[in-house]
Amino acid sequence: MGAKGMGAKGMGAKGMGASVKPLLCKGRPKGARYVAQSARGEGGEASGRVRLEGEFDWKGRVFRAAAGFLASSVVGLCAHGGLIAAEARLEGVNKPELLPKEYTPLIDVADFLTSGEEQRVVKTLERLERDTGVKLRVLAQNYPETPGLAIKDFWKVDASTVVLVADPNTGNITNFNVGEDVDIQVPRNFWSKVAGKFGNKFYWQDQGADRAIINSVNAIDFCVREPESRLKCTKLSSLEEEF
**8 half-sphere exposure, CB direction, 13 A CA radius:** 21
Residue type for position 213: I
The pLDDT of residue 34: 42
Distance CA(28)–CA(122), nearest Å, equals 30
pLDDT value, residue 141: 95
Determine the distance from the C-alpha atom of residue 57 to the mean position of all C-alpha atoms in its chain, rounded to a whole number: 15
What percent of the chain stands above pLDDT 90? Answer: 53
Distance separating alpha carbons of residues 108 and 213, to the nearest angstrom: 11
The domains located in the chain, with CATH, are: 96-242 (3.10.310.50)
pTM for this predicted structure = 0.68
Task: Look at 67 and 182; give whichever has higher pLDDT.
Answer: 182
Kind plus residue range of the DSSP H or E element containing 146: none
- Per-residue pLDDT at 205: 92
In 3-state terms the chain splits into helix, strand, coil percentages (rounded to 5) of: 35, 15, 50
- Please give the residue that has the higher pLDDT: either 232 or 237: 232
Q: How far apart are CA 97 and CA 61, in angstroms?
A: 21
Phi first, then psi, for residue 168 (nearest 5°) are: -80, 0
Q: With cut-offs at 50, 70 and 90, classify the pLDDT of residue 32.
A: very low
